[in-house]
Structure 1
Amino acid sequence: MIIQKKLSYLIFLIVTPFYTLSATNYNVKMMDLTSKEPIGDITISSSKFGTVFTPDLIDLPSGLHGFHIHEKASCDPKIIDHGVKILAGSAGGHYDPDNTKKHGFPWTLDNHKGDLPPLYVDQYGDALVPVLAPRLSINEIKGKSIIIHAQGDNHSDNPEPLGGAGKRIACGIIE
């Protein structure tokens, strides 16, 4: 555990000099969608390379997770056909201001702008490693939500739509 946490901290120290915090930063409180318990924060800041998402999260399943900006500022569930409840369904779909209707990589230009790099969660359930979204500006994401999905994201709509990241497990509102 100590070695893994030191490695995460070392990666943070290596990445940190590459971005400069702007006057506008967001500190997003994240919530587990099943238990409704807080699981930590994600700090969002600007850099000359794009927008940086720095997680300080606990109690997540280990591995890589789909990580996206969603179009609406809501973490409320949504009831769809035949009474099926979608956790944080009121957050809507991935942020897609260009109406591409296509899932892809954070650095490609023909897909959702809300497609972020995967979120890494260590074997202890902690997410500490920052990710960079090169196409997003910090000013355009206020009033949106951040969703963490149960599984990894292949950044494609094949073989499953939206990268196959699965159900929504955590949510926070960018205020």
Structure 2
Amino acid sequence: MRRICVFSGSNSGRRSAYREAAVSLGRLLVRERIGLVYGGASVGLMGAMADAAMAAGGEVIGVMPQSLVKREVAHTGLADLRVVGSMHERKALMAELSDAFVALPGGIGTLEEIFEVWTWGQLGSHGKPCAFLNIEGFYDRLLGFLDHVVEEVFLKPAHRRMIVVEERPEILIEAIRGYSPPSVTKWVGHHER
């Protein structure tokens, strides 16, 4: 695994554990010789993670649309900041550069990003792992809702299991390394669960 794309908040959130996890993940990626691809901001969890990875001597690639360079406070310390034309180009380039995807705590943008790459995996566009780093149960309610989606037969159990969920960065990286994509199609038949 050469690089992992991490989606996370441009805010730090309410709990200090979120920032601590972002810093830990940034350092861990360097120890594991894995490059970081992220949204390119200098603020929030994004900035904390990037700063930690750079301080440890790691490869960090930021990707940000021109329209957000000022609003999201583009990280001027990055050796590799790629400015693109749109959010669509941002996500496509981040996906192209990465071998796996991880969501740290974050807002709507973080959710949209991880759900999009998960959808691409579900449709068979890639076989890369998608994961949640579930710090202090941040994603518990969302994961419960996803179980409800399975129960209501809008999502196959095999596709629900595509999402790797761990609470500690070290365990998450090992789980990602052991990931195998499912070999079932997306579409759920009337008689199929």
Q: TM-score, normalised by structure 1?
A: 0.28
Give the helix-richer structure, 1 or 2. Answer: 2
Larger radius of gyration: 2
More strand by share: 1
Tell which has more relative contact order, 1 or 2 (C-alpha 8 A, sep 6+). 1
TM-score where L is the length of structure 2: 0.26
